[in-house]
Each structure stands twice: as C-alpha cells, then as structure tokens.
Chains A and B, each alone.
Chain A
C-alpha cells in the first residue's frame, strides 16, 4: 500500500488487490487502514516519478495515434479517430495496444468510446469494452458512478440517494438532481461529466504534443540497432514526407524524428529551418549532425518523421545566372546555409540585424536569429552624426581629462591605457527616451551608516527663542540642499582620435548641474575604423 500526507494526516494513496479485497480504498485514513490490517506494509508514494513515468509512456504511445493526452494521474487518452483502420478496426486496435503493453509488463485497463469521459469510464468500469458510436448511453448504464470520476463528496452523496449506477442518472430530472446537492459546483460537475460522457457537451483533448501537419512512419520488420540503418530509415521517411508536402505545394520549418525502441522507450531529435523546405537532401543533411544522438539501445522497431509549421513554398523560377537575378541575394540558398550552420552550432548562432525606430544607437539595431529574410533598414535620420563601425556590447567607463562643462576629452584612460586626444569633434546630444523610462524603485531599507533624517521639529514657544531661531535656520539650510532627481541623463557623444590614429566614440552621461546626480561620467561606446 502506498500512502501520502493529506489534509487530515496520512491517508491511503494507492492499494493493491489484496488490500482492496479487505476494503482499503484510496482516500482512507492510514490509521483506519492500520486498524483493519495491523500487518499492513506501506511506503510513501512518489507522485513526481509516477507522473514522469506516465508521461514517458504517453509519449511512447504516440506511435499508435498522433494525439495523446494525459488523463488524470493514472490514465492516458488516445485520440484514435482515423487511426483504427490501420490496425484492422477498433477492437483489433485495442487488442494490439493491449498486447504490446502486456509484453512490456505494464498492467493496464482499456476502453474505447466516442467521448473522452465515456472511454475513461469504460476503461475503469468495464475494461476491454468497445462502445460503438451512439451506444454510449446503453454502454455506460450498468457502470458504477465512480467510473465517472466525480469528486468523492459528490459520489458519497449520490450513493446516499441510492444512485449507484450511471444509468440511474439518465431518468432523473436534471433540476431535481442539481437541487439535491448543497454546493452548486458539485452538482454542475456531475452534470457536466454526464453530458460529456454522452457527447452533449464538448470536451476537447489537450494533447501532449500538438498534432503535426504531416507525419510518416516506418515500421521495421526487425529492430534496427545501427546508426547506418537509422540513416537509411530517415532517408526513406524524408522522401515520403517531402512527396506529401510537395503534392500540396508546401514545405515545413520544423521536423521531428522519433525512434521508438522495442523496450518501450523513445528518443527524438528535432531540426528547424529558417524557411519552409521540402527538399529531402537538405532535411537529411540537417539531421546528419544530430543523428548520433539517437541511442538505438536494444533496437528500434518504429521510426516516425513529423513536419510542423508548414507553409507555402516560394515556387518562382531560379535565375539562370547571378547577373540575370532580380536581386543580389539568393534567399533560398542563404536560408539553406543558415539552416546548416544552426543545425551544427545551435539555434541562435546565425543572426541578422533587426532595425527599429530609436534615437539610441544601441537600441536602433539589435541582433535576432535569422528567420528566412534579411530585414530592411529603416530610413536613416539625416540629422544623425557619424556612427562608429563597431559598438561595444556595454559602454565602458573611462577616466577623462576634459574641459568643463562641454569640451571634448583631452586625455582619457581606457582599458588601463592612457590615450592622448589629437582630434575631436562633437558633441552630438542623444537624449534619453523618457517615454520608455521607468524609474527604479527607491531603496527600501536605509543603510546602516546613512545619516538619520529627522522629522520636522515642533517648537515649543515657551522655550528659548534664540535656540529656536538657530535650530530653524539649520534645519532650513539642510532642506535647501539640491535634490537629486532620479531621471535618465542625456548623452553627449564625441568622436575623438588619439595620437596613434585610433578613433573612438565617447560620451559624457549627463550635463554638469543638471540636477540628476553628481558630476557626469564618461564612457567609450564605440570604435571607428
């Protein structure tokens, strides 16, 4: 028996057949269980490991149907629409899945129906039954209400009314049924489950993985266990998939190769493309960098290849030569290059510059992963001054000897080397973007050594008048000290050249006496050619 800590202490989380036979069920207090069977063996349940194992099993079951969802803590739901005929009908499919699960020593109960709740109820109440479409009402009638999996409270209440079978709920007036429950939510939950079971209300499946746009699979007669065999399988699948895609004039940007091992585990690798592709050789080449990540283990008996993010292909004819091309860039070849580099070096290794409207040079251009096109540059500001060739990732602070208040630097120390300025021009003032600025929150806790601030003193007129006057003047002096506003500061950019001919883009952050902090600091932000 497995136990867990509930709201009222330890309780039974799961019990085996022997325990169930003496009436130990889920939710029973552990002390009660122990009283009924003093020699009971128990252990803490590990929900996280169970959930992980269930998810792994659910992913492995994708081999039977593409849409697979988790059903509570101990169930898996397969959407078999359109898949059952591949196994020779619904009953044959259930038998097939059951046989494979038994082979893997996984205890299971199965049911098949046209709604999720009905299928779940059949699996829990009458394992192995297949309900044809439209027969849910009859099929479920003799099952226990607990198979509907309503809350314990609702189930107890229904049992007290003498309602034990699902079929008994059909004839009861819905309003009357709802009235018997104290809480409206419980009543609604029971009615909702019933409606969903009979197909009156919708109950969409929440798949573990979104359904692929196209999927092809290759069943291996003998489990394959070598890298070469996987490559051959991949080529076969890719050709088949691309044929499917081409017949619709489409390509895909994301491909997943999944290898189902015969021991019930799986391994999958994914590749992405910057633009929709449907050329088999290109897809195989992208996979070739990662195919060694698949460990065949004891052998692979099924390979699937899924295509996602499909889109129309650009079917325009390729120019015969570069001179005849409408543009200099062959974007398809460029995307193929970017895909290959990204497949080997990782996503984000290939980047392009994206432009946006901003006065600040570091915000106006930002790198982003290549997405199949090279962004167009926005119209440049004719009033902007010269921009450096290279922009440092962070402005680096420098010590400067400069004319106050608005002169360019005469000397500065950057990266511990003193540089003497031979030529300079500027400044170009770049103001901060006040509309995007949010002031940082004021520091909450006062520092230990910070001077303590007193509240405005209240003066007693009976005290010494001279002392009052003195204290008041002191206090007023203290108040009139310049307040520092926590606002961003304007930057004055200068272009300077040192005596060796190196050219820098330096800026002074803030102006003298701008009331936004102390003396402004200087930074190097960019380097000219």
Chain B
C-alpha cells in the first residue's frame, strides 16, 4: 500500500491533460452546446439554415429538424436535393412540425435525450432564458449539439453557448460565367459567446467550398466586388471622370 501511495502521484501524472478545445471559429458551432443563429433581417432564414448545415457538415448521425409551423409557411420546407450540397447527412433528417413554441422546445429536449440523433436544428420563434438554460444543460449532459434558428427580433438575454447573427452576402465570382452565381457566402457576427467572451462582436466573412465541404474565410478583397482603381486627377476635362470624383 505504501508503495502504491508513493507512486500514486506518478500514476495520476500519466493521465492525459484534459483536452481544451481551441478557441477559433466556429467556437463549437454544430459540435457542442446550444448555438442561437438569428436573422439580420426578415427573410434571412434560408441563409441561416445553409450556414448551419455548412458549419456542421461533418457531423454524423440523424439530424432532428424541429420547425414551428409559422416559419415553415414563411420560408418553405427543406429540399433534400438542395441540402445535400451542404451536408453529407442531409438525406437522413427526421422532421417534427409543431404549432406551439413550447411543443417545439419539448421536442428538442426529447431529441437531445433520445441518444438517437447526432444534431438538432430547430426553427423556433422564441425561447426564453429558462428554456435556453434547460437546453444547454441537456445538451451538455447528453453531448448532442443544438442549433436554434431564430427570427430577426431575437434580442436580450440567453443562456445559450453563443449567439450568431448571420446574413447572406453576394456570392463568389463564378469563374465560368461572370454573370452567374458562385459559391455561397455569408456574413456572420458572433454576438455573444460563453466560451470566448472576448471574441464577442467579431465578424466573419465566410465562403462555402462544396468540394472540400468546408467553410473558408473569404478574404476582404475577394468578398467585395473588385472596383476599378480611380485614376489620378489630371487636367483632362472628361465629364465621366469628373462624375466619378464627385
């Protein structure tokens, strides 16, 4: 026993140190905890949904999709053929449609506890502090990440791990067709984060890469349309030039 006590310290030293998740984008989005994703303006919900699928593209298992019926009428239903471009698991989605918000929250919690789903994506109109705390506790206990897609009115306190505010951006340039659409791009603002509070207010310009199934940070230059460099003012009296300066 004495020998054991003597070596006890060494034994415990052999244990690997607890792994600390690197505090970088996406801050555990779609991997752990409850993340709220809110619209910037009304009508951004499809963009939020695409962003959520893209940021959790490598998650395995069935996706539980809970939708409050008002949002379904407004923003349409999932089309698997379209969702497959973002998620390898897009064809195994179990959808739950509810009318009331409380039923939706109940369904989310049941989904977390069921040990049958790998990710919960819910579209709900509102979620108070108590409900979000409940979801966070359940999510951390059962290890199922939750993404709440919420309308633009969503403000105020929350117990969620993070709150994002997302809007779509002009798509990337299409190298085959200059007038056509390119890869999808989003502008995401990390409004609150319990994991990395000092990152709050950080903005991310993201672009979807459908070949590697990953999100990349779009460089500022690429994120904006390139504009022609203004000429230096010279003595020419060209009305077009003058207009551009004005």
Q: A389-B83, A391-B79 are in contact. List 7 more A-B contacts (CB 8 A).
A: A328-B118, A329-B92, A337-B114, A376-B91, A377-B80, A387-B79, A501-B169
A353 touches which of B80, B89, B96, B97 (Cβ 8 Å) = B80
Q: Which of A328, A334, A350, A374 has the most CB of B within 10 A?
A: A334
A349–B96 CB distance below 8 A: yes
B170–A497 CB distance below 8 A: yes
A423 touches which of B82, B85, B94, B181 (Cβ 8 Å) = B181
Tell me if A361 is interfacial: C-beta within 8 Å of chain B. yes
A-B contact count (CB 8 A): 180
CB distance from B86 to the nearest CB of A (A): 7
A425 to B43, CA, bound (A): 22
**Given A390-B46, A390-B79, A351 and B110 touching (CB < 8 A)?**
no
- Chain B contacts of A370 at CB under 8 A? 94
B62–A374 CB distance below 8 A: yes
CB distance from B27 to the nearest CB of A (A): 20
A157 to B181, CA, bound (A): 89
CB distance from B93 to the nearest CB of A (A): 7
A393–B94 CB distance below 8 A: no
- Chain B contacts of A392 at CB under 8 A? 76
Tell me if B141 is interfacial: C-beta within 8 Å of chain A. no
Listed A/B pairs (19) with beta-carbon separation below 8 Å: A328-B89, A329-B62, A333-B116, A336-B116, A341-B96, A345-B96, A349-B97, A352-B93, A352-B94, A353-B78, A353-B80, A367-B77, A380-B84, A388-B46, A391-B79, A423-B180, A503-B171, A527-B76, A528-B46
B80–A502 CB distance below 8 A: no
B171–A501 CB distance below 8 A: yes
B92 touches which of A374, A503, A528 (Cβ 8 Å) = A374
Interface of B is mostly: mixed
A387 to B90, CA, bound (A): 13
Tell me if A330 is interfacial: C-beta within 8 Å of chain B. yes
Tell me if A495 is interfacial: C-beta within 8 Å of chain B. yes
- Chain A residue nearest in CB terms to B62: A329
- Identify the 5 closest CB pairs spanning chains A and B, nearest first: A529-B50, A333-B116, A425-B180, A390-B76, A337-B114
Tell me if A261 is interfacial: C-beta within 8 Å of chain B. no
B115–A333 CB distance below 8 A: yes
- Chain A contacts of B62 at CB under 8 A? 328-329, 334, 374
CB distance from A493 to the nearest CB of B (A): 12
B181–A495 CB distance below 8 A: yes
Would you give the 0/1 interface string for B160-174, flagging 1 where the beta carbon is closer than 8 Å to chain A? 000000011111001
A337 touches which of B82, B86, B116 (Cβ 8 Å) = B116
- Chain A residue nearest in CB terms to B79: A391
CB distance from A413 to the nearest CB of B (A): 14
B73–A393 CB distance below 8 A: yes
Tell me if A340 is interfacial: C-beta within 8 Å of chain B. yes
A503 to B171, CA, bound (A): 9
A337–B49 CB distance below 8 A: no
B107–A391 CB distance below 8 A: no
A386–B85 CB distance below 8 A: yes
Tell me if A344 is interfacial: C-beta within 8 Å of chain B. yes
B82–A386 CB distance below 8 A: yes
- Chain A residue nearest in CB terms to B75: A390
A425 to B174, CA, bound (A): 10
B114–A333 CB distance below 8 A: yes
B181 touches which of A328, A350, A387, A503 (Cβ 8 Å) = A503
**Given A423-B179, A425-B177, A502-B47, A374 and B78 touching (CB < 8 A)?**
no
**Given A503-B184, A527-B46, A334 and B77 touching (CB < 8 A)?**
no
- Chain B contacts of A387 at CB under 8 A? 79, 81-82, 85
- Chain A contacts of B49 at CB under 8 A? 389-390, 529
A334–B114 CB distance below 8 A: yes
Tell me if A364 is interfacial: C-beta within 8 Å of chain B. yes
CB distance from B227 to the nearest CB of A (A): 15
- Chain A contacts of B83 at CB under 8 A? 389
- Chain A contacts of B60 at CB under 8 A? 328
Would you give the 0/1 interface string for A352-395, flagging 1 where the beta carbon is closer than 8 Å to chain B? 11010000010011010010001011001000101111111100
A424 touches which of B64, B107, B179, B185 (Cβ 8 Å) = B179
A353 to B106, CA, bound (A): 22
- Chain B contacts of A497 at CB under 8 A? 170-171, 181
B81–A365 CB distance below 8 A: yes
B43 touches which of A353, A365, A388, A502 (Cβ 8 Å) = A502
B94 touches which of A338, A364, A500, A501 (Cβ 8 Å) = A338
A370 to B93, CA, bound (A): 11
A393–B77 CB distance below 8 A: yes
A334 to B144, CA, bound (A): 14
CB distance from A505 to the nearest CB of B (A): 9
CB distance from A167 to the nearest CB of B (A): 66
Would you give the 0/1 interface string for B97-135, flagging 1 where the beta carbon is closer than 8 Å to chain A? 110000100110011001111100000000000000000
A341–B110 CB distance below 8 A: yes
Tell me if A526 is interfacial: C-beta within 8 Å of chain B. yes
Tell me if A422 is interfacial: C-beta within 8 Å of chain B. yes
- Chain A residue nearest in CB terms to B66: A341
- Chain B contacts of A528 at CB under 8 A? 46, 50, 82, 181, 184
B73–A501 CB distance below 8 A: no
- Chain B contacts of A355 at CB under 8 A? 80
- Chain B contacts of A329 at CB under 8 A? 61-62, 92, 116
- Chain A residue nearest in CB terms to B52: A529
B117 touches which of A334, A367, A386, A390 (Cβ 8 Å) = A334
B114–A527 CB distance below 8 A: no
A390 to B83, CA, bound (A): 8
Q: Which of A384, A495, A502 has the most CB of B within 10 A?
A: A502
Tell me if B29 is interfacial: C-beta within 8 Å of chain A. no
- Chain A contacts of B93 at CB under 8 A? 352-353
A367–B95 CB distance below 8 A: yes
- Chain A residue nearest in CB terms to B184: A529
CB interface residues, B 12-56, toward A, < 8 Å: 41, 43-47, 49-51, 53-54
B180 touches which of A390, A393, A424 (Cβ 8 Å) = A424
A359 to B158, CA, bound (A): 44
- Chain A contacts of B115 at CB under 8 A? 330, 333
- Chain A residue nearest in CB terms to B85: A386
A502 to B167, CA, bound (A): 9
